[in-house]
Amino acid sequence: MKTFKKRFFQSFKVLWIEFCTLFVRGRHELYHLYKRQPISPGFRERLMLVVTSVNGCRYCSYVHQKWAQAKEVSPEIVQELLRSDFSQCPEREHRALQYALYWAETEGKSDTDARQELTVHYTPEEISAIHLTLRLIRWGNLSSNKFDHFLYRISRGRWGN
């Protein structure tokens, strides 16, 4: 049987802890992210597509491609983001998109220098929104990939990869 290649939560306990952190204790921050919009919806979707491209979640990729296009992100830019090409994105977002890529590749373990770089280009409110967006999409990616891992296991490698 071939190996399951996507990133996923290794245990239900870790999935549950992340869920509680984001959606129970962090519900006020989520409300602020979506209602007060410290970063634009298009910027939020671009960040989500970058993280999704690293984590390989087919469900999130499909949904966020559609949502990004609804937020006036062209299909060409969506495809470029999925290839980690930010050249057609707004210049002001480049640092955050590079950070999102690095953050996703290191599984959320960015270093102090990378976080410090954000403070030069974004307000504290924007930085909080960027981090919350990254954590939110990572949770969506890994929990959906966990479902795919389940399909993979019960089908002996025929589904879910």
Q: Quick check: is 125 in a domain?
A: yes
Mean per-residue pLDDT for 93-105? Answer: 96
Residue 1 — very low, low, confident or very high, per pLDDT cuts 50/70/90? Answer: low
User: Counting Cβ atoms within 10 Å, is residue 91 exposed (0-12), middle (13-18) or buried (19+)?
Assistant: exposed
Question: Over 60: is that where the pLDDT of 114 sits?
Answer: yes
Q: Quick check: is 6 in a domain?
A: no
Mean per-residue pLDDT for 4-14? Answer: 90
pLDDT of the residue at 110:
84
Mean per-residue pLDDT for 113-133? Answer: 95
Q: Quick check: is 4 in a domain?
A: no
pLDDT of the residue at 49:
97
Q: Quick check: is 139 in a domain?
A: yes
Mean per-residue pLDDT for 68-78? Answer: 93
Tens digits of residue pLDDT in 23-58: 999 999 999 999 999 999 999 999 999 999 999 999
Q: Quick check: is 116 in a domain?
A: yes
The answer to whether the beta carbons of residues 73 and 42 sit under 8 Å apart is yes
Question: Over 90: is that where the pLDDT of 111 sits?
Answer: no
- As for how many domains the chain has, the answer is 1
Q: Quick check: is 7 in a domain?
A: no
Helix ranges (DSSP H) in the chain = 12-19, 27-35, 41-55, 58-70, 75-82, 94-105, 112-121, 124-154
Q: Quick check: is 2 in a domain?
A: no
pLDDT of the residue at 100:
97
Mean per-residue pLDDT for 149-160? Answer: 90
The answer to whether the beta carbons of residues 32 and 126 sit under 8 Å apart is no
pLDDT of the residue at 138:
97
User: Residue 140 is part of which domain span?
Assistant: 12-154
CATH (domain of 56): 1.20.1290.10
Q: Quick check: is 124 in a domain?
A: yes
Q: In whole numbers, what is the pLDDT of the chain averaged over residues?
A: 93
pLDDT of the residue at 97:
97
Mean per-residue pLDDT for 99-126? Answer: 93
Question: Over 70: is that where the pLDDT of 112 sits?
Answer: yes
The pTM (predicted TM-score) of the whole model is 0.92
